[in-house]
Structure 1
Amino acid sequence: MEPSQPADESRVLVIYTGAGGTIGMLVGQQGYVPEPYFLTETLRSQTRFHDPQQDSLFSNSGSVQGFRNWSSGSGRSSPQDGPGAASPIKPQRTLLVRSSRPIGVPESLAPNKPHRKQPTCIQVSENVYEAHLPSLVTPYSAVPGGTGNKSIRYAILEWNPLLDSSNIDIDDWVRIATEIELNYTFDAFVVLHGTDTMGYSSSALSFMLEDLGKTVILTGAQIPMSQLRNDAVDNFMGALTIAGHYIIPECCVYFNHTLYRGNRVSKMSSYDLSAFASPNFPPLVNVGIDIVVNWNEVLRQTSLRRFRAHKKMSPHVATLRLFPGIATATISAFFMPPIRGVVLETFGAGNAPQRADLMQALKEACDRGVVVVAITQCAKGSVSDAYETGRTLLQAGVVSGNDMTPECALTKLSYLLSKPELSVTEVRELISTPLRGELTRPIRSAPSHPATVEKTVENIQGVLAEFVRLTSAPPRGPRITLTPETPLETSARDATAPWTWTAAEAANTEAVLIPFLIHLAAARDDLEGLQFSLDALGGPDSADQHHFLNVAGGVVNCLDLATGKTPLHAACLNGSARAADLLLRSGALVHLRDSLGHTALYYAACQGHEEVVDLLVQAGATLGGFDEPFAALGLRDASLAGNQIAARIWLKTGIKVSDAVPIGTM
């Protein structure tokens, strides 16, 4: 059994698909070529990527020579070797990694090059292999708004053979999605990928990773790490840092100090270090002296479904770019079977040549069940029906793709058409519906009146009134209660003639009060108070949209500064099943851990709240690394005491009987 995961350590799986934007390439006779294990060996030799002092089982690898001695099997000595003998090298910490393919590179690929010894790979089931891969660990660090001061332990799952991104296809998307699913016990994932097709892969994975609750980041480089001047170091370090410190439950792309939503990017340059852009959507994270997360825009899972990887994509899709003088015969031939979906890149805001024969060809294709999606050829902007030339496309049966990128529109179409349960009508409807934040919702008209100070003060009065109600009501059971201060009498307020609060002062007060209120309501299973706190955010049409949207995960995930617990932790500790359900449907993150390294699932099981455990498991919750030894102990104690209910609850969390200390018959 591997050592338990410390509370101040996050675990990231790095899936190294190949070129990684040339990130792990060497210069050969025919240009940049991928080299097995070069990336891993390079990272191990740099203390910013691997700090031997953080690893008590690691020795002598702070230098390149020490690592080479280990990797070649030399450097091992015994007390009889005498003075000057090399120090014995202790075993390295490993992480259990699974894959749909055998793990490791055959010795025949690099027989004369010293490299890391091959891991022992075993097949555990059909198309599932596992191995204990040596891990690397970063120095301790903290980031603004992150999950505290921690180190990042990571293992690199290297594909064999390494692929240039121009050779990536649908099967490789399925492989990446499968490996994320097989290793979902990791806290986050970084995928090293070539830049040429990264926009396609990040878009496809954003749809294939259904109900994602953890961070997935694709990154690469324009210049390989083997070169003195490169962007590979910054890109990999930035992606690893964000993945290890933040829960951003999306498939993202990190490049040139910026984290983008993966289905919003396109490669814009083949020679600039700023290779990617997201013209129609702001970055999720900007990295400078500070790391600034735009929490307003981060997606939050609001369904009670477990994560799963969709492992099929339709290959019968294509992209057709309109041009002046395009022949109708070209259109007709392009839409012939087996084509089932076409992304039509139109002029400007969704315009096309107004030839009757061309429109008839499009209509016939749509009538046969081909799904045609219109997007703009412009890098920035959206299609609309503002022009007559755009409305005729819609009348022919073409569906608006709004402001989706070409990469996103194609992969979304492939994803939807791969689902046999969806009819053509449903696919057309879903194309224009944002599933993973890939397109902008239609803009509603803003309220006609601005927010006023009086309205803000009224909100604060509502918060205070809710506090009085919650703290005055008798608790359901043993609870920590708060004693409210006695409100000032009306005469006293009038006598002091207080100044009216400014909107900023009122907002600051509300910012202090709301976190306490939502934690208290969650602990008491008080849905009224909980909904009040959540409504304080303001809806998308609100003129005074609350700034709580721009905190890590929103107010629904706000932390108790003393314990690091979220409202979901509070609900689960107290068995507040209704509150937990509302929190999960409002975007609560089930994988967040408190300052002790424990998840909400662990606390619910520890307190014996079976209904809450069932709810969390349904929503995809799993035990965190630091939970497991305590859960195993709880399972053992329940069995020894003959407490079948407690044992059943622990087993529901996913802890295996084999992980507990042998205890005889359950």
Structure 2
Amino acid sequence: HYIIPEVTLFFNQKLFRGNRTKKVDATNFNAFDSPNMKPLVKLGININVSWKEVLRPTEIEKFHVHKNLNQHVALLQLFPGISYATIKSFLTSVEGVVLESYGAGNAPDKRKDILQALKEATEKGIIIVNCTQCTKGSVSDIYATGKALTDAGLISGKDMTTECALAKLSYLLGKNISKDAVNQLIKTNLRGELTDIPKIPRFSKFVNPDNSYIVKIINLIKSDESNINKKDLVNHNLSTLTTECNNSNNILNETSEKKGNECIQENIHNKIIKILLPSLYRIAASTGDIAGLNELLDGWPFLINNADYNGQTGLHLAAKQNHLKTSEFLIKMGCIIHTRDIYNHTPLWYAVTNNFDSPKKQKLIQLLIKCGAIYASDEINDVKELLFR
């Protein structure tokens, strides 16, 4: 089974992220598309999953649906000839509007009446989100016509679909938060609905309290990588200088041989890292070495859901050893709680069946259940026997 912990839509052999999807055709099989993001999964002879695009849970909470939506939101599309009176009338009884503008988020900057109507609305507290009428692309204020809307108080919807922007606005206005908070959250990536590069690190810098041996190994690897890059630069400059100053075949042959040896050394170095890093990750998870895990995931984040020959992730291994804090750290870094190993067991199973008997074990079980972990049907009887014996 492939664990994709998202709200998705599957159609015509493709799995799309729900909040990125649009209906683009009323009759053909290619009825749905995700214009600004490739599908999460494509089915052919093989099942191709874009794992780097799949969202990872980063909160210690179960999945739940928000039902308190604000119904006083609406959709307005700009069109040639739209009047001030039309916009003014439209904005009288709403709390939020998604405005479909031209191209990359543009409006006619010569139409001062339209811009004035929009500015009056935003000054009254009506939140207006600027999205493009185009199927694909994003809004921007790099053009004067786009900047005019920003100056009028509109918020960039970036590359959200109109449908998504409308649902997000309804959701945010349904929460008990200030208008300033809504303005900020509209343009913030909450559930993968828009393309955004974080300006600050997602996690605060972890301070290593004990300088574990895994951290020392990682520092050596990073230091070695830095030296290799420096050697490449020096050797490149020396090679260029030698070629320009002396065209002797002997010197050129020596340089080529030297570079060949260095290439072999670099390939060996890369293979060592490919083998060593997953092993260090699993050792750190098994021993509860949070400092080592932090250093590994800071340098090589792809390791987070790396599995061993038994299909067990770091969370499986931490749960086996009753490491509560380590399990919590891994979940917050994006380790999937639903992954099943070759024995069809999740980390929750190993939290229940580990050989420890302490309050920490109960807290670990509660932590995983709080995040939405469940038992397989064939595990329930065994779990009951273990928990209530």
TM range (shorter): 0.7 to 0.9
Partner SS for 1:333: helix
Shift of 1:500: 4.3
Correspondence for 1:115: none
Q: Secondary structure at the match of 2:342?
A: coil
Aligned equivalent of 1:628, options 380, 386, 389: 380
Matched AA of 1:522:
A
Tell me what 1:374 maps to: 130
1:386 matches 2:142: yes
Kept in 2: contact 1:362–1:396 (CA 8 A): yes
SS of residue in 2 equivalent to 1:274: coil
Cα distance in 2, alignment partners of residues 624 and 415 from structure 1: 33
For 1:388 and 1:567, the matched residues in 2 are separated by 51
Q: Which has the higher strand share?
A: 1
The runs of 5 or more residues in structure 1 that have no matched partner are 1-244, 445-460, 467-496, 539-547, 549-554, 638-666
Please tell me whether residue 536 in structure 1 is matched to residue 299 in structure 2: yes
Residues of 2 paired with 1:502 and 1:279: CA distance? 43
Deviation at 1:499, TM superposition (A): 4.6
Matched, 1:361 2:117: yes
**SS of aligned partner of 1:422:** coil
Partners of 1:439 and 1:630 in 2: CA distance:
43
Q: Which amino acid aligns with 1:577?
A: L
Q: Which has the higher contact order (CA 8 A, sep 6+)?
A: 2
Q: Do residues 578 (structure 1) and 334 (structure 2) align?
A: no
Q: Which residue matches 1:344?
A: 99
**Separation in 2, partners of 1:423, 1:295:** 36
Most deviating of 589-598 and 382-391: 589-598
Q: Does 1:274 align with 2:30?
A: yes
Q: Show the counterpart of 1:253.
A: 9
- TM-superposed deviation, 1:413: 1.0
The residue that corresponds to 1:557 in the other structure is 305
> In the aligned structure 2, how far is the partner of 1:412 from the partner of 1:513?
43
3-state secondary structure, aligned to 1:407: helix
1:595 deviates by 2.1
Q: Give the total of aligned pairs.
A: 331
Q: 2:278 — aligned with what?
A: 515
> What SS does the corresponding residue of 1:335 show, helix, strand or coil?
helix
Paired AA for residue 294 in structure 1: S
The structure in which a higher percent of residues are helix is 2
Percent identity of equivalent pairs: 44
- Distance in structure 2 (CA, Å) of the matches to 1:498 and 1:626: 56
CA distance in 1, matches of 2:17, 2:381: 36
Q: Secondary structure of 1:320's match?
A: strand
Alpha-carbon distance in structure 1 between the residues aligned to 2:265 and 2:138: 39
What does the per-residue CA deviation read over 1:567-596, in whole Å, with 9 as the maximum and x for residues that have no partner? 111111112222112101111111222222
- Greater mean deviation of Cα atoms: 318-327 or 597-606: 597-606
Q: Show CA shifts across 1:453-478 (max 9, x none).
A: xxxxxxxx944958xxxxxxxxxxxx
1:398 is matched with: 154
2:337 is aligned to: 590
How many angstroms apart in 1 are the aligned matches of 2:29 and 2:373? Answer: 38
Contact 1:349–1:382 (8 Å) recurs in 2:
yes
Give the TM-score normalised by the residue count of structure 2.
0.79
C-alpha distance in structure 2 between counterparts of 1:362 and 1:441, whole Å: 26
Query: Helix, strand or coil for the counterpart of 2:48?
Result: strand
Matched, 1:305 2:68: no
Could you tell me how far apart the structure 2 residues matched to 1:586 and 1:503 are?
Answer: 30
> 2:371 is aligned with what amino acid?
A
Equivalents in 2 of 1:272, 1:262: separation in Å? 19
Name which of 54, 66, 73 aligns with 1:317.
73
For the Cα contact (< 8 Å) 1:320–1:344, is it kept in 2? yes
| Matched residue, 1:434 | 189
Sort the Cα spacing of 1:572 and 1:442 in 2 relative to 1 into closer, same or farther, 3 A.
Answer: closer
When residues 505 and 436 of structure 1 are mapped into structure 2, their CA distance, relative to the original with a 3 A threshold, is: farther
Residue in structure 2 matching 1:262, options 18, 33, 36? 18
Other structure's SS at 1:308 match:
coil
- Aligned counterpart in structure 1 of residue 289 of structure 2, from 511, 526, 537: 526
Match of 2:363 in 1: 611
Distance 2:265 2:88 in 1: 65
Task: Give the direction of change, closer, same or farther, for the CA distance of 1:508–1:398 in structure 2 (3 Å limit).
Answer: same
After superposition, where does 1:69-148 map in structure 2 within 5 Å? none
TM-score, normalisation: structure 1: 0.47
Dislocated runs of 4+, deviation >6 Å: none
Deviation of the 1:508 alpha carbon: 4.1
Q: What secondary structure is seen at the aligned counterpart in 2 of 1:331?
A: helix
Task: Give the Å deviation of 1:437.
Answer: 0.7
Instruction: Give the secondary structure class of the aligned counterpart of 1:313.
Output: coil
Residues 533-579 of structure 1, C-alpha deviation per residue, up to 9 Å, x if partnerless? Answer: 212326xxxxxxxxx3xxxxxx2222221x22211111111122221
